[in-house]
Amino acid sequence: MDQDAAHFKRATTFKVYLTNTTMRTALFGPVDEHHETIGQLVETAVFSQWLHNVTFVDSLYYARWKRGEVDLVSLDAQQRPRFAVEVKWSDRPFEDPQQFKGLLEFSKKNPLTRIPLVTTYSMVGIKLMAGIEVEFALSSLHCYAVAKIPWSGNFNKEQTAVCY
């Protein structure tokens, strides 16, 4: 989809996720938490957790346009954005909104049911960034929460406190 939450007429760019992050290790060797590819593996891990969520799996998209992208967007039945997530394995986004400017641009153009989320390495909280309220949560906790919280499709306080 693009920044207006519209589906591409023709897909010319896309992301490919390994369905199992251990495939990377088997092919290229182990990595530690500071390896240059760990961010991509964390993004794959988050996306993989969402793929097991029967409530949202059919509504998940990657959004990309000329000057930005959002890692994960969920659309409701009327094709309106529900939530948006930018996956990071860094704490830089907590202080620098340039690290997730695509998410901010998308959130300004599209009213979301839930405030946008940026996952981080170790920083948590809710901050006003470029006029948008943004939640920051640990990537690891977000993966856990997506896997463990039973989703009804409606957001409640317990679900939004940790991830959605």
Under the banding of pLDDT at 50, 70 and 90, the label for residue 3 is low
pLDDT above 70 (res 60): yes
| CA-wise closest residue to 101 among 79, 81, 122, 84 | 84
pLDDT above 50 (res 156): no
Domain-located, residue 7: no
Domain-located, residue 96: yes
pLDDT above 60 (res 138): yes
Q: What is the mean pLDDT of residues 33-47?
A: 89
Over pLDDT 90: what percentage of the chain? 47
Is the full-model pTM beyond 0.75?
yes
Domain-located, residue 133: yes
Domain-located, residue 145: yes
pLDDT above 70 (res 131): yes
Residue 164: per-residue pLDDT: 47
Q: What is the mean pLDDT of residues 74-78?
A: 92
| Dihedral angle computed from the Cα positions of residues 126, 73, 141 and 33, in that order, rounded to the nearest 10 degrees | -100
Average pLDDT score over the chain: 84
Domain-located, residue 65: yes
80 close to 112: Cβ distance less than 8 angstroms? no
Q: What is the mean pLDDT of residues 47-66?
A: 87
Q: pLDDT higher for 100 or 54?
A: 100
Domain-located, residue 1: no
Domain count across the chain? 1
Domain-located, residue 10: no
Q: How many CA atoms lie within 13 A of 10 on its CB side?
A: 1
Domain-located, residue 17: no
d(Cα 138, Cα 62) in Å, to the nearest integer?
A: 20
Amino acid identity of residue 104, one-letter, is L
Q: pLDDT higher for 111 or 149?
A: 111
The residue range of the domain holding 117 is 22-162
4-18, 27-41, 142-156: the lowest-pLDDT one: 4-18
